[in-house]
Structure 1
């Protein structure tokens, strides 16, 4: 039963394998400390019977010397054990955290649609910290007390059989509350960890969207909602603490009740001369060790139950499998021709509605293709599938005739660079963000990419230039500045295939004109796919594909589609009626 309940902790044990020698040294120190602690009982007996009642200073000196020697062994063993076990706890916690992150960062994006990021972060931080505490402290305490408890029971029976039977009779009574309350503690511990993760997730979501919260004057409402989350977590924690308190209190009461009965019975024997005062003191010492050992184990049992829940949650993350198998059977070719062949695809979170249906589209190498259509037509889905964030449910997507599923994810994505409509920047400096797709780039290469993206001038005006920290998600930059940093990143990567999600939408007119000229240079001779929200920016691409309802309904040039496709003509009339056509169109 215990193995089943603590199974996740046993599963974590293999993370200790690389440190087996430190573990062996810690175990040796643990055995030494336990043995020395047990020897202290005999030292106390010797001190009373020979040192205090022996009548000579020499006997007292030897007895005191023995006590000091045993104390030194206990201190040295405790030092070594504490250091090594604490080191192991920190090391295993770090290794487990790294293993979980290594697995998570390679999982398919759908996993993060189905699991809240805040909860995942809570598992990655709070749960690993809890395990570190268990391995580095509580587990060692449990092993030490198990050893000393077993040894003390043996020494009790050696010292006095009759009194030992009195103590032994209370053991089943102590185990009873452990069995009853232990299961409740584990269940509540798991619920408590989940509720804490929920609190962290809620707070993270609010802080990430703090401008929206404040612009709608929802601070007070969010404080109340967060308070409800906190109080729910506290209520669960309170029930868990109450169960643990009952468990520990009942164990202590029962054990020390038995100890009181033992002292009364032993005291009668001392008065009658049936045993010496030293024997009674030694027996009391061992009995106290048994009682405190059981009390500590009952308390640590609750911690182990809680840690088992944390370990189970972490192991779930470490064992999560990506829905995108990365089993390359072919190397990427030298070309950049892509094609959708009768592709049907449903997002995992929307299995009843196809995002693409019997979708076929050729993307010629070295040419530019624009995707247009109403919202929900499938434009963004095309980009998701081109980068193989998902695999199609039917049909195939090919690169130079090779199914993307036959290429390694790394090889495929090396061919691509994306400039999204809402660029993502990291809370590092400008240089790091531009070089994110090419970490080994030189400072000169980074500056050249920034100049081509018309970002160098504003970067130079930042407080520390290219070393300026951008803050969370690039919050210290304007929208247009963030987009030009993202464009510089794509330019520096120098990909075969460029994906542009209306890359100039956040720029002012002058910056847009300059960046369009830069893009025209970057796109020359490069396969480029553009999601177009403003038709004025793509009138002169090589080909335009009109999407509607997850299908390609027409392809052609701007002029052809105006004349032949009602949907494109309607979109064009709506936009060109309200907005002047750009005089600096995007050219390939």
Structure 2
């Protein structure tokens, strides 16, 4: 129940109980849903979860409470918003006022979070009556909403809310990375850009005053010795300078804010797209190449917030100053404009050659970045095999190619600058000479002051004209940078399936039916019309020679590759129809070579699961056989792991990876050659725990060590992408020649032979 202040006692009981308590819901009510990894006391968070569930259901999206994660006992608006976003919805955690609520007259439900941990659904509003309509989170979906005014709502609500809706067919995050997309991104900052434009226009007007004051000073003060006019002009100059200083400071601050916001949005967008790229992209492209292409985003950002914005502001100045120049002296103004046009024509003439030369620079720099990235990633192999001379020779070659390409580009790019420089000088000095000639032939005596004023204005006009011409040249480089970044960011996104797809409750039954799959660029299928079943809750082994397709089966189960023919069903649902995030949250995967992040052992075990505690990490470590060596470490579960895990052995890394896969209690656990890198002691520990690990889940073990598969319910034998046999270990030894051969090869030390004979020692004659 919501505590009602004493001043509400005068209200009728029906209004107070119905409008306030029903709106707040029953935070202490029971919630039978279990949230793995979430807060322990679900009766406190129940109403908030229910409210978001109902709001999502209104938009046709069914959220899964099992996917909710929260680091606090009562979920915050950010936790709930992230939950909805992970399910593919658009959602925002906001803090709004009563006046904003009155605008939601025809919008969908908005989740209001109450101060006591409860929640309610805003279903409508009436600005005329100054009320909103709320439903309790525990109320039935067809229940009626209750009218609540601002006073009553303020007793339980402080402004926290969650807005959510279904994603639209085309959102900004999914739009192609192009110049048009960047332009739309800049347009989102229309309000500060408008302020910048107003400030720039005002500053441009102010720049006119000093030249006009100088012209008046020469023509009036010096000619007629007017002290009063001089004093007045001095006061005007002081005011203008003070105002110009303050306005310029404000404009620079706004520009910095806009630049920071654009930079932040770009970086968030780039990293989000990078995470959503499919795994096969990273397998086919060097890390250095990808990083170099993405680094071009920063050049784009500098162009948008630097040269482009400054040129735009200069154009405002140009639009103000050009009419004044023509007013002062049309002849000199036409000279300035003609010089600007000639500069533009010179730069346009060099655009295509510069574009071709710059493309060579891009290719050379890409290969150079790929070389250094490959060396850094494989530095252990380089050191172990003594490959430093070979890698240095490769680096020298790539650096020479990049330097040659940059030199050729620089030599060609210097020609426009060489040709433009004298025209820039003519624009300033030429107008002064022509103006001096005109002043000598002027009998009115006012030409001298006009010449001074024109010279001051022309210096300010020359820079925008030259900057506008050079902007075209800069755009070519930025256009190439956009193409490089787009070559990565505009690839088909794996996460496009995150916002769609079914979310069935996973039990663990897997069925392959006449499935064929080929990798890109190969004609021979990796899997050729394979068919087999994996019952739910069983231990299933997969063996075969190298290249037989064992790991490909595991990749397909993870949804890494979906372009197969035939059927792969999980609990009777085609895997292509299942939401990718939902699928992978139900899987636990341990690879042969696992990556551990920088951080403590505990952080690595509970990676991505902030709602879990140390006891959860200890339980998973015990199940994986990792608890014993963790407790021997100096800081236990707080032991820090460096990049590359140099302070851990291969067996210890593998057992931590198994613990990380078990932390969220997956329905299906895939061990893809997970024990092949273990020492005999570690493998024995893991194998001893396999039966406990497999309890209550489907376990799929891909291994070339047959001894680790003897306890499996079924073992699949593969050869050249085809299924040879599926049976338990004892049956396969009898009827499968390949399995029997592999078993004999791995266990020949048990057949009583002593191995190869010892060579006869040579004798001295």
- Paired residues for 1:336-351 under 5 Å: 336-348=508-520, 350-351=521-522
> Equivalent residues in 2 for 1:136-285 (5 A)?
136-274=305-443, 275-285=446-456
Find the counterpart in structure 2 of residue 517 from structure 1.
688
Does the 8 Å contact 1:34/1:144 carry over to 2? no
- Map of 1:493-572 to 2, 5 A cutoff? 493-572=664-743
Tell me the residue number matched to 1:382.
553
Pair 1:297 & 2:468 matched: yes
The question of whether the paired residues in 2 share the 8 Å contact of 1:355 and 1:378 is answered with: yes
Partner of 1:112: 282
Partner of 1:80: 250
* Residues 537-570 of structure 1: per-residue CA shift (max 9 Å, x gap): 1122111111001111111122211111111111
Give 1:329 shift: 4.8
- Kindly state the Cα deviation for residue 224 of structure 1 after the two structures are TM-superposed: 2.6
Task: Quote the Cα distance in structure 2 between the aligned partners of 1:56 and 1:80.
Answer: 36
User: In the TM superposition, what whole-angstrom CA distance separates every residue of 1:85-106 from its partner, at most 9, and x where no partner exists?
Assistant: 2322232122122112212212
Q: For this pair of structures, how many residues does the alignment match?
A: 573
Residue 392 to residue 268, structure 1, CA distance change in 2 (3 Å):
closer
**Alignment CA distance shift 1:298-1:165 (3 Å):** closer
The equivalent position to 2:202 in structure 1, one of 15, 18, 32, is 32
Q: Distance in 2 between matches of 1:315 and 1:84?
A: 29
Aligned-partner Cα distance in 2 for 1:302–1:55: 51
Aligned to 1:469: 640
Residues 102 and 286 from structure 1, CA distance in 2 versus in 1: closer, same or farther, beyond 3 angstroms?
same
More moved, 53-62 vs 491-500: 53-62
Q: Distance in 2 between matches of 1:300 and 1:23?
A: 19
Indicate the residue corresponding to 1:586 in structure 2.
none
Deviations 1:290-340 (A, max 9, x none): 322222333343333322322343345443323686274533134211011
Tell me, what secondary structure is at the counterpart of 2:460? helix
Supply the distance in 2 between the matched residues of 1:258 and 1:419 (Cα, whole angstroms).
70
**Inter-partner Cα distance in structure 1 for 2:736 and 2:600:** 47
The equivalent of 2:48 in structure 1 is: none
- CA distance in structure 1 between the partners assigned to 2:198 and 2:388 by the alignment: 57
CA RMSD of aligned residues (A): 2.5
2:355·2:476 contact (CA, 8 Å) conserved in 1? yes
- In the alignment, the residues of structure 2 paired with residue 86 and residue 351 of structure 1 have an alpha-carbon distance, to the nearest angstrom, of 51
Give yes or no for the alignment of 1:479 onto 2:653. no
Find the aligned partners of 2:417 and 2:431 in 1 and give their Cα distance. Answer: 21
What SS does the corresponding residue of 1:493 show, helix, strand or coil?
coil
Contact residue 347 and residue 470 of structure 2 kept, 8 A: no
Who is 1:47 aligned against?
217
Task: Supply the distance in 1 between the matched residues of 2:215 and 2:288 (Cα, whole angstroms).
Answer: 58
Look up the SS of the partner of 2:218 in the other structure. helix
Q: Kindly tell me: are residues 405 and 377 of structure 1, through their superposed partners in 2, closer, same or farther at Cα, counting changes over 3 Å?
A: same
Cα distance, 1:450 vs structure 2:
1.4
State which of 211, 228, 238 in structure 2 corresponds to 1:58: 228
Q: CA 1:329–1:296 in structure 2 vs 1: closer, same or farther (change >3 Å)?
A: closer
- Segments of 5+ residues of structure 1 without an aligned counterpart are 1-6, 582-588
CA distance in 2, matches of 1:167, 1:422: 67
Residue in structure 2 matched with residue 3 of structure 1 by the alignment: none
Q: In the TM superposition, what is the alpha-carbon distance from 1:384 to its structure 2 partner?
A: 0.1
Tell me which residue corresponds to 1:585. none
**2:223 and 2:393 mapped to 1: Cα distance?**
70
CA gap 1:440/1:197 in 2 versus in 1, 3 angstroms? farther
Answer whether contact 1:338 1:398 (CA < 8 A) is retained.
yes
Q: Name the stretch that deviates more: 519-528 or 230-239.
A: 230-239
Q: Tell me whether 1:330 sits opposite 2:496 in the alignment.
A: no
Measured after TM superposition, the shift of residue 370 of structure 1 is 0.7
Q: Between Structure 1 and Structure 2, which shows a larger proportion of helix residues?
A: 1
Q: TM-score, normalised by structure 2?
A: 0.70
Structure 2 residue 578 is the aligned partner of structure 1 residue 407 = yes
Change (3 A) 1:531 1:459: same
- Alignment correspondent of 2:166: none
Q: Secondary structure at the match of 1:86?
A: helix
Residue in 1 that maps onto 2:135 = none
CA distance in 2, matches of 1:80, 1:174: 33
Answer with 257-266 or 337-346: which moved more. Answer: 257-266
Q: Is the 8 A contact 1:369 1:530 kept in 2?
A: yes
Q: 1:220 to 1:36 in 2, by over 3 A?
A: farther
SS in 1 for 2:684: helix
Query: For the Cα contact (< 8 Å) 1:85–1:135, is it kept in 2?
Result: no
Instruction: Tell me the distance in 2 between the aligned counterparts of 1:47 and 1:9.
Output: 49
Contact kept in structure 2, 1:496 and 1:527, CA below 8 Å: yes
Task: After TM superposition, give the deviation of residue 408 of structure 1 in Å.
Answer: 0.7
Question: Does the 8 Å CA contact 2:276/2:494 hold for their aligned counterparts?
Answer: no
User: Which protein has greater RCO, CA pairs closer than 8 Å, 6+ apart?
Assistant: 1
**Unmatched runs of 5 consecutive residues or more in structure 2:** 1-176, 753-765
More displaced stretch, 327-336 vs 286-295? 327-336
